[in-house]
Amino acid sequence: MELENTRDVTALVDALEKSTELSKTRGRAIKRVCQLSSTDPRQIVSWKFNEWDYGKNNITLPCKARGLFILQDDSSSPYPVIVARGYDKFFNINEMSFTRWDWIEENTMGPYEVTIKANGCIIFISGLEDGSLVVCSKHSVGPRDDTDRNHAEAGEKFLLRQLKERGVSSKELATHLYRENLTAVAEYCDDSFEEHILEYKNDKAGLYLHGLNLNQPTFKTLDMDRVSEFSRKYGFKEIECFIKNDVTSLRKFLEDCATRGSFNGEELEGFVIRSKLGITGETFFFKFKFEEPYLMYRQWREVTKDYITSKSRIFKFRKHKFITNKYLDFVIPLLAKDSKLCEEYLKGFHIIELRNLFLKSYGMTGMEILNHSRLKELELKNSIDYERVDERTKFLIFPISVIGCGKTTVANTLTNLFPNSWGHIQNDDIKGKDKAKLIKNSLELLSHPDMKCVFVDRNNHQIRERKQLFEWVEEFKEDYLSYDTNIKIIGLSFVSYDAFDEIKTLTVDRVLDRGNNHQTIKIDKLGKPKVIGIMSGFWKRFQPVDESKSPDNLFDLVINLNINGKDSSLANSKLILEEIHKTFPVLIPYIPDDKIIEESFQKSLSVKLPVREELHVNNRPDNNLKEKKERLLPVYFSADINVDDMNRVKEEIKKVVELHSNEISGEFKLSIDKLFNENKFQNDFHVTLCHVAQSKRGSAKDQEIWKNYKKHYTKLLKKYANDEEIDKATLKSIKSDDKVSIKFDRLCWDEKIVTIIVKLMISDEDDNDQDCVVDSQGKPVSKLKCANEIPHITIGRLDDEIKAVYSNTLCMKVAEEEGGRDASIQILEFGDNLKPFLANVVIHL
């Protein structure tokens, strides 16, 4: 080895070791010490960085190699030696500013070597001075006890078999590589070991050699002619390569292939393009990956694994909803009768076989399914008939009433008649701050195989409450029921304006007569004036059903009831049975005898309701109850951008989108346009600093951060709790004088949500892992950090069914090794010149 290279490697190792000691994760090296083999105790160190560190302008890495193995304890050399070196990290077209077409045209020169991107696991092959062969996976070499699938050992096993068939010894290959100081970079594609997305069986399986890299700190790779020559000599599979002389012809070729999703009639993942930088002549790689049909294929693979694990097909799909459900219709019966198939699928086998069986049965290829005109046909073919009512249809009943109308008595009467198929969820029984739990519990009960109908027991006396219920059903339905389950919703209107004064008198008498037999309204506890006051509040807010307007026009059936007269709940129960039998005989195929209905009614009157715990905890006296009520408990702490700055946020988003408009494909353009055109922006823009869930299920560090926030804001919480002029029932948040400086980093979006990844700063030395809050005097507040791994702001939900918390998932995809450059996510850099936003710390209750 040349002395200059030896010094460079020594300096590289020193820099890598120093970077392991960085206090922040950004730019920190990750070191893994591996034993060369089970029989060779020599140690090789694998070095890598987090995926999101590569390609960042503000992070300088000691080396950008993805796959770097250094031998440090070889007795033959006192210096560290690079044993194997991968390519410098390279990116997909339009993924970075330097992989935009205009940048490539301006800064690179041809000829452009275009190679087919194999779809397997990367393997590095090199040799040591003594003729030992070294075979590594992306970040490990030798034996491992932390996984049941060792890619390096599998790759080595296949390589030895390949060399034997070629009549070449492993020592000859190792010596060749050592002598020329090279790493052979191959893709191991073999469905008998591990399936990916493309098929590699029989003769197609093997080690596809696509590079020969020099084992030196700076990236240098041999041209494809040398790679092909080496492949033929040692029996590797050759990667097809062809030349495009200019950017125009290169781009046209790649985009034509992407439209078809194939090359020469074969499905591919995409291409890798090798070129030179015009100024320095250095090697410059970029890739061109096809989004489809591989996104769809990966989705099929993941939902199959999820189904095998959970035995539930309750999925919310990002794309390809209809065809994916059609795929599940096909594969579930196959999985149900073959436990071995399920077991092997989870190990990575039969993935392609099941996919191909489905495509064959459907009579289309993956790209034909995705063809625009076929897709419309497919959606029409597989769309849900929301008018259908059959044995699989489920029902929800929403009452519209005020206190004392008899809705709970009616609910109990009906569920007593059909105890195995009708359920009853009472809002008064639900604890906690999650208001949607009423519908979540109802849908969960409705999901039971024998359950046909659930009575959702709440007054729903206001339009907004009915609207809320319909929205919750849409939002959470597929969390509990399969996509093709049709739900019919029946409204029971207990009250009309025509007889409202009479109803007031009647309901007051009923409530006073029943005394304490109610979960929350206790006559002995509250007194008659307080009870009437509560009831009058319902009367003032009451909005009757109007089927000509939303949301009441969404009911599939509205039954108007009459609460006058003795035993009106019995009469109403009979009327409900008759109307449902007439409209939905599948739910009530016959009406029970009057005697049975009356017995059920009497049984419902005898029900004694339980005492609500929160009103009578351990029989504490009233003053203790009052003290308990006055405690304000935080749910989460956030840094909220001021309302006056909201328009500036929107303008900055618009600017960065316009600046990078040539990087944004049609689908992403439609999504970001939807944000503005349909005003999909959130009502506020905030960074969640710490959530109560992290105090319970988070790491020890998260729990400590939560304690620090609670401790710091105890006085402020007590101040508001003891202020008698503040209505605690309506108090949702408390704005503090403390500030956080927020710097926009990346704008990220897919078809569901738009998010900004941010940096939280106290000084120019920004670091999200450090303290980020300053007080009203501008002094840093110790130990107040952001507990989220990736601080971000949810800007807007493009899909109304998606919760804002999905932003966490999107940010993790951006950060993860494979998901960071997911073709389904658009990422734009804001740049360093954007002025930070100043936000107040807000306590949400």
Tokens for 532? Answer: 């009437």
Per the rule left: phi > 0, alpha: psi between -120 and 50, beta: everything else, 43 is: beta
C-beta atoms surrounding 331 within 10 Å: 21
DSSP 8-state code for residue 609: P
Tell me, rounded to whole angstroms, the distance of Cα 607 from its chain centroid: 44
The residues near 731 (Cβ < 8 Å, ≥ 6 apart) are 632, 720, 845
Burial class of residue 351, CB neighbours in 10 A (0-12, 13-18, 19+): buried
Q: Are 456 and 415 in contact (CB under 8 A)?
A: no
Residue type, 391: E
Q: Nearest 5°: CA angle at 275, between 273 and 281? A: 160
Q: Which of 130, 238, 124 is nearest to 185 (CA)?
A: 124
Extract the runs of DSSP E, i.e. beta strands, from 715-836: 733-749, 753-761, 792-797, 826-829
C-beta atoms surrounding 715 within 10 Å: 8
Q: Are 567 and 547 in contact (CB under 8 A)?
A: no
Tokens for 724? Answer: 């008698």
Distance CA 369, CA 376 (A): 10
Q: What is the Rg, in whole angstroms, of the alpha carbon atoms belonging to the chain?
A: 33
What are the φ and ψ backbone dihedral angles of 742, each rounded to 5 degrees?
-115, 120
Tokens for 507? Answer: 């309901």
Query: Could you give the angle at which helices 407-417 and 594-605 cross, rounded to 10 degrees?
Result: 130
What are the φ and ψ backbone dihedral angles of 131, each rounded to 5 degrees?
90, 10
Distance CA 47, CA 34 (A): 11
Half-sphere exposure of 404 (CA within 13 A, CB side): 25
Q: Which of 292, 111, 59, 279 is nearest to 197 (CA)?
A: 292
How far from 525 is each of 535, 615, 616, 618, CA to CA, in Å? 16, 10, 10, 15
Active site residues per annotation = 117
Q: What is the largest CA-CA distance in the chain?
A: 104
